[in-house]
Structure 1
């Protein structure tokens, strides 16, 4: 009798599951076409074991520049190529102004901060961050001077290798992290500081997890994964460790806070909290402060360090281009004059090289996803309100319709026939529209100052016996190079500055 009951249950269950799946398929017709949606995994079967930088570009060739990929039960509309991304993020910026909140990200960020918050929280936190960064002296003398000091420390670390092979990854990450510490806390840390090293380890752990296989599992099966051990639990512990580190700094600032002389992000934020303490609509509180600083670390450490890793690798792989950078810096500044960010206009070729690094070795798989705030009509398709939208910025930066040699490292993409630097509308490594990266200016200053400081001091070469450095990316939250070593050969005549 028990067997017959089980059989009857299966006879009822299987048709119900089939009907449920067919109902979901009918719902899929609301969205642009895309890969076949399978139960549980959606369209993820298209990617095999893991994503690659051109995974979405390949799908666009099959389904068009606007298509839908189902991530489990969740539809994600992909905008591929410059024209599709421009129509969405730029021409209809308001309609693409929200962020999707997935199960893991909700647990990780608590819907606070700048990057992944929405509505009033996002508007207030982003506006505050923009104003505060300007007040702290971006592009003037304040924070830029601090970045120059960090860059000089980095040059000294490279010099200690005395031309022997070294891995640039750790010094670059430490330096970019210390820039964010300066911005947020008002001071840097010694590279031997144990608490700082723990912070670095926690940052690396959390950034490496996002985009991994286990991250995908959590987003599809959160009700199961939250109860199981695994790397997702380690990541949440790492995030909490970073948050705890930030809280300690906030408490120190509260103990020594001066409302009349704010010196860093925390000081300005505490001042804002005091101003808004009687405003019932204010989102300025300790939780948003902690998450905003965590966002600054997440967006401004690994990304900038990865860009600089690619820059040095490409210089070592293209000695002819490196020689032209050396010559331009020497011709314009000699060996001792300080190079400031505003001097980039005097270095068109060097500026073009930096832009080309960021174009050809874009450090993300795609742009940070958006969510539609209203129903959106685009040429040939309809995107319902509340839909996750993925702007494939990788496809924009390698769009064959927009770049002469998209798959090559070619600084002349940003130079005219007379050698003058040319701005490109299609160059969107920081995104576009209302959700463009809030830290774009600080990133530009860091990359320019660090790159010119290192290239003025050293010639970078592969170690003896290494014919070619691996240029295939390691895919995670950022697409960084495989671990490599190079030799930083001191340039004759350079002096400390």
Structure 2
């Protein structure tokens, strides 16, 4: 009986704390729908059509409004004008990242994606300069993209026009282009070490975008005491760290400061140049997280774009059939009265 009373009192205290916190915060934030204690606006948001739900909120509360994802207040910018005013006209003030407890637990504020302040500026500036030196945004990187596109097409041809799920193989292609810049070389699609790395990247994206991750980020104090998929995220982080550490060690053993081969070499050279700077942001740990961020940010986003592009081409065969400098074969499916498209991209069709 005493345990039940204690539990009820604890819940009441939690509700009162939540109400007090929300009321004090809401006075300083843009208007928005009234949140419930603990749950926030969860029951007012249509998770199946979040974009339309936010559009409806903007019609009531204006282009800048606040919604509570659990106990976490989130300011939403809706529409071109609001986004431009914040991110372009006041870009410096809005350059920082918000709180992401699960990410901070793993990367400790290092890298590019979740870092802030001077660390973010220095790491980002160095990364952009290095990537441009290796061809990012220039014609010189085209050869790497063309080589990988050829490997991708050959891999897709192995399906012989039969139905297949291209999700994984479409992720391997952009990942390999990034590998050629970070590690100097690409990997075969059957390389087991590369496949393990790809599986970990894909699983991380799936876990980080899951509803469970929203719960973990809203209640970070209980992360260490709960079972769940976030523990797999920690295991994947350990695997990734060992993977990158081995690559960094290989580069350290064969480093030629006069002839940097890739991103890791350039970072190691920068580390050597700043070894006497006690406040330097160029450390082995920051190298690991920066390289990991490049893979995380570049692989899934590009592969998703490719996947949607193929989907749109399948849905609009009249566009696929246009002469764009490439080639297309249409093979008649067997067993069904359907048509199965097989895409053969030439160099000209991939140039732009």
Same fold, judged at TM 0.5 (above): yes
* Residue in 2 that maps onto 1:426: none
1:487 aligns with 2:335: no
Pairwise CA distance, 1:16: 8.8
Which structure has the highest helix share of the two? 2
TM-score where L is the length of structure 2: 0.89
SS at match of 2:92: helix
Given that residues 166 and 486 in structure 1 are in contact (C-alpha distance below 8 angstroms), is that contact kept between their aligned partners in structure 2? no
Cα deviation for residue 107 of structure 1 reads: 1.0
- DSSP 3-state at the match of 1:229: coil
What do residues 164-192 of structure 1 show as CA deviations (whole Å, max 9, x unaligned)?
32322222111111111111100011111
Deviation at 1:198, TM superposition (A): 0.6
Distance 1:139 1:182, change over 3 A: same
State the Cα deviation string for residues 230-285 of structure 1 (Å, max 9, x = none).
Answer: 11111121122122211111110001011000011001100111111112221000
Query: What does 1:9-408 align with in structure 2 at a 5 Å threshold?
Result: 14=12, 17-18=15-16, 21-22=19-20, 24-48=22-46, 52-324=50-322, 327-329=323-325
TM-score, normalised by the number of residues in structure 1 = 0.64
Change (3 A) 1:458 1:164: farther
Higher relative contact order (CA 8 A, sep 6+): 1
What SS is found at the alignment partner of 2:195?
helix
* 8 Å CA contact 1:35, 1:68 repeated in 2: yes
Q: Secondary structure at the match of 2:324?
A: helix
Residues 101 and 111 in structure 1, CA contact (< 8 A), matched pair in contact too: no
Give 1:220 deviation, angstroms. 1.6
Q: Kindly indicate whether the alpha-carbon contact (under 8 Å) linking 1:50 and 1:213 is maintained by their aligned counterparts in 2.
A: no
1:45-98, CA deviations, whole angstroms, 9 ceiling, x for partnerless residues? 223556645443333233221110112332211101111100100110011010
What is the CA-CA distance between 1:160 and the residue it aligns to? 2.5
Equivalent residue of 1:328, what SS?
coil
SS at match of 1:98: coil
Q: What is the root-mean-square deviation of aligned Cα atoms in Å?
A: 2.9
User: How many angstroms apart in 1 are the aligned matches of 2:18 and 2:164?
Assistant: 57
Secondary structure (helix, strand or coil) at the match of 1:204 reads helix
**CA deviation string 1:355-395 (max 9, x = no partner):** xxxxxxxxxxxxxxxxxxxxxxxxxxxxxxxxxxxxxxxxx
CA apart distance, 1:463: 6.3
Q: How many residues align?
A: 346
User: Unaligned stretches of 5+ in structure 1?
Assistant: 330-455, 468-484
Question: What are structure 2's unaligned runs of at least 5 residues?
Answer: none
